[in-house]
């Protein structure tokens, strides 16, 4: 039943049950693509967990990962011990196998946004679902893992973006991420209205955007590389302590600059297939913008992440990042 929820969502099956039970808890579909799981017995270490996927519709590996985790719950090989809100973000884009239909959903998670259209309406609905879930579980520590895959190849194939907001990330999170085989972490340097930022900024949740490999169609994802990530989701949903590893296995970066597109004519000065985290030396030209002219690397080298010359005018065309020391446990 649970594992069929993904198919119901994609097929828009109106006659699918709205709620029901499984071995260790009950489920409720509170909106299209929004599934709430409540354990019969909540464990003392439980977090209020949000696992979201398909905020970008063509990023299917996280959907398969959620499917594998739901199958374990359904089979009873995993016992739910924490409340979990599962979200499939952009269902029309997921069906169309596109990143988005009209605009990038992952820039719209800001209270009071006034824009109209399908994606802004969905962002408002999802923000309300997050608010309800965290307020109904106010006694528990809050956690939100927003699962993505990257458009391009990467020198670190699995990495995490830590949103910028008040509040520190718990040190144990880095140890969990190391055990889940995340290879790099990128600290954001300013507010950015992503879904993971929403939960951290407005709710103080432990929250990240995960990049779990490269975009591929359903059935063509490298799921074996995500086994440790599946184990992390499993432990969190059980409400038991996740595995920990040495955080020195992770390379940490901090965002130094956001390269924005301002002009009608905008080009990046490197090949389209340049992998994420590629390093550029001082003086290297990175972009040409009909409004802002050339952008060149300053005195210290920069690594390029998420380059995309085809973004809307006024949107981010790349993050420029530099290595930094791992966080200390204080």
The nearer residue to Zn ion, 27 or 210, going by C-beta atoms, is 210
The nearer residue to Zn ion, 142 or 148, going by C-beta atoms, is 148
Residue 300 structure tokens = 């210290």
The nearer residue to Zn ion, 146 or 238, going by C-beta atoms, is 146
CB 302 within 8 A of CB 322: yes
Residues 217-243: b if buried by 16+ CB within 10 A, e if exposed: eeeebebeebebbbbbbbbbbbbeebe
Residue number, nearest CB to Zn ion: 148
- Site residues (CB under 5 A) for Zn ion? 56, 59, 148
Instruction: Give yes or no: 211 in active site.
Output: yes
Q: In angstroms, give the least distance from the CB of 197 to Zn ion.
A: 14
Of residues 235, 232, 226, 228, the one with CA closest to residue 79: 235
DSSP codes of every residue in 58-112: T--HHHHHHHHHHHHHHHTSS---S-EEEEE--HHHHHHTSS-SSS-GGG---TT
Residue 50 structure tokens = 């949000």
Strands 142-150 and 48-53: parallel
Q: In angstroms, give the least distance from the CB of 265 to Zn ion.
A: 26
**Which residue in the list 64, 119, 162, 211 is annotated as catalytic?**
211
The nearer residue to Zn ion, 74 or 211, going by C-beta atoms, is 211
Q: In angstroms, give the least distance from the CB of 245 to Zn ion.
A: 25
Q: In angstroms, give the least distance from the CB of 148 to Zn ion.
A: 3
Cα 101–Cα 107–Cα 112 angle in degrees, nearest 5: 105
Q: In angstroms, give the least distance from the CB of 55 to Zn ion.
A: 6
Place of tokens 């210290």: 300
The nearer residue to Zn ion, 59 or 238, going by C-beta atoms, is 59
Catalytic residues: 211
């Amino acid at each position: 039943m649970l594992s069929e929820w993904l198919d119901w969502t994609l097929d828009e099956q109106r006659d699918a049950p709205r709620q029901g039970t499984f071995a260790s808890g009950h489920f409720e579909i509170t909106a299209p693509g929004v599934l709430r799981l409540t354990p019969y017995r909540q464990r003392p270490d439980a977090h209020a967990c949000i696992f979201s996927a398909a905020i970008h519709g063509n990023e299917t590996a996280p959907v398969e990962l959620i499917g594998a985790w739901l199958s374990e719950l359904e089979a009873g090989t995993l016992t739910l011990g924490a409340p979990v809100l599962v979200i499939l973000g952009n269902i029309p884009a997921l069906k169309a196998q596109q990143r988005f239909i009209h605009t990038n959903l992952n820039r719209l998670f800001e209270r009071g946004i006034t824009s109209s259209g399908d994606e802004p309406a969905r962002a408002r609905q999802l923000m309300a679902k997050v608010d309800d879930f965290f307020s109904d579980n106010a006694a528990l520590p809050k956690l939100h893992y927003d699962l993505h895959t990257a458009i391009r190849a990467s020198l670190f194939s699995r990495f995490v973006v830590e949103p910028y907001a008040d509040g520190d990330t718990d040190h144990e999170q880095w140890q969990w991420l190391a055990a889940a085989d995340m290879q790099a972490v990128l600290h954001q340097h300013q507010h950015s209205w992503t879904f993971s930022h929403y939960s951290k900024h407005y709710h103080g949740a432990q929250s990240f955007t995960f990049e779990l490999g490269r975009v591929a169609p359903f059935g063509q994802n490298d799921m074996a590389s995500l086994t440790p990530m599946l184990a992390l989701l499993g432990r969190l949903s059980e409400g038991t302590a996740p595995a920990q590893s040495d955080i020195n296995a992770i390379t940490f970066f901090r965002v130094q600059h956001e390269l924005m597109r301002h002009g009608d004519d905008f080009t990046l000065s490197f090949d389209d297939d340049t992998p994420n985290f590629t390093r550029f030396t001082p003086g290297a030209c990175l972009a040409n913008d009909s409004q802002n002219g050339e952008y060149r690397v300053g005195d210290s080298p920069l690594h390029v992440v998420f380059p995309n010359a085809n973004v809307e005018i006024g949107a981010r065309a790349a993050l420029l990042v530099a290595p930094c020391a791992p966080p200390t446990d204080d």
